[in-house]
Amino acid sequence: MINLSKKLAAFSAGLTLEDVPVEAIANGKLAILDCLGVSVLAVSDEVGQAVLRLARKESWQGPCTIWGSASRASARDAAFANATLAHALDYDDSGHVTTYILAASATLAERGSISGRTLLEAFIAGREVRMSLDPLFANRFAGVGPGARGWHANGILGPIAAACAAGKILPLDVAQMLNAIGLAAGSCGALGRDGGTMAKPFRAGHAALTGVTCALLAQDGFTGDTEALEGPYGLLSALAPVDQEVVNSLAQNLGVEFSLAKHAVKAKKFAAANATHAPVEAMLRLLQKNRLSAAEVARIECDLKPYPLLRLSPENGHEGKFSMAYCLAVALLQGRLNPEDFGAATANKRELKDLIRSVHHRPGGKSLIVILKTGEQIVEPVQPIRDHQTWDEVVYKFHACTSQVFTESQRASIIDHVANLEKLPSVKSLTEALKTR
């Protein structure tokens, strides 16, 4: 096969904004704004508070902003903190790839007072690299490939993509980028089992931290294997067996087609695993048509999608994000599914726990069925979800996420900075707006 590592390195080092379709640039900005909003919202969450406690205990200091806070840190520590925040609520865009790519590139850009144009190039390069490797995990729901055996895509591919984005900021030449990729490939790993625990956002933070570290080391002459992905005993070999057709497809169209242009960014409506969204929307439609209380319900039937929603009997809100039963129960009980509904105040409600026990798995079911204590059955088809996909929708979500943290003028400034990112002489004007006073 082609030298995959070198292809990724050459693309990342050589990409300029002139090479990128306008649709990809627009979608890149949309993904960045959404990521910043959910990161700021997560600062008050227990994961966010744990990150800030770590910053205080370890006396983190440096030139880089921890978004949505007054804290600052080194580029490596800030990349870890911001990527962890970005994924803390599971509210970031579907696939979760923006988290570590943006955190890795933005912190180094802030440290070096790099232009917004370069940050946009680095972000797009990292994201395109990540998506060019996605076929490795594309068939996990069918029980095929490393994802079906327990490896998680972002833990495996995230450090590589983050290293490419970080390397673009520094900037690394092709040989240095190749070394950064080699170092990152030997530093990856994460388990699908982490879903529903704090380990899941930690893996995003780890990917960003690893990517920045590998890029900085490569800049100073630290070397790695130049065929770490495709060579014997390399990453693909370690993930084996991988179908040869899949291997041949990796990065095949990198730089020719852009994922950010071909596929819309899907900004989430709910702060939970994507697999919960369609049935939750069905429940909310059902409640619009039928005035129900939890006390009337005897049983709820739905395909609970036990893979990947492995938390069948959730004990807390983190597990609730990976539990169809939890999400459906909250939607029925409260007529909504908001980020705060995964906090202890909701998760510990006795009424909610009772309702969760009434939810039952209906394998392959295409509808949500609510059975009342009278025996009446109410059926609502489960339909494809429609995430936020337009700039105005993401702006609205950004305001909702940040209104308790930033002033109206601060929010307007952040939105304007992202909308005109390629015009910023320095990223510092954006990151300064992301600080609390």
List the chain domain ranges: 4-268+390-433, 274-381
- Identify the pLDDT of residue 412: 98
List all residues 6 or more positions away from 322 whose beta carbon is below 8 Å from its beta carbon: 195, 196, 272, 273, 308, 309, 310, 311, 314
The superfamily CATH assigns to domain 274-381 is 2-methylcitrate dehydratase PrpD (3.30.1330.120)
- The residues, any chain, with a CB within 8 Å of residue 431's CB and separated by 6 or more, are 64, 65, 67, 106, 110
- Among 221, 107, 216, 227, smallest CA distance to 171 is for 216
Query: Quick one: pLDDT at residue 163?
Result: 98
**Which parts of the chain sit beneath pLDDT 70?**
1-2
Check residue 2 and give its pLDDT.
65
Three-state SS for 261? helix
| The predicted structure's pLDDT at residue 284 | 97
Domain 4-268+390-433 belongs to what topology?
2-methylcitrate dehydratase PrpD (1.10.4100)
| 274-381 and 4-268+390-433 share a CATH fold | no
Which pair of structure tokens corresponds to residue 66?
């921890």
pTM: 0.96
The distance of Cα 394 from the centroid of its chain, to the nearest Å, equals 15
Q: Locate 401 and state its tokens.
A: 């996420």
**Rounded-to-integer distance, Cα 111 and Cα 113, Å:** 6
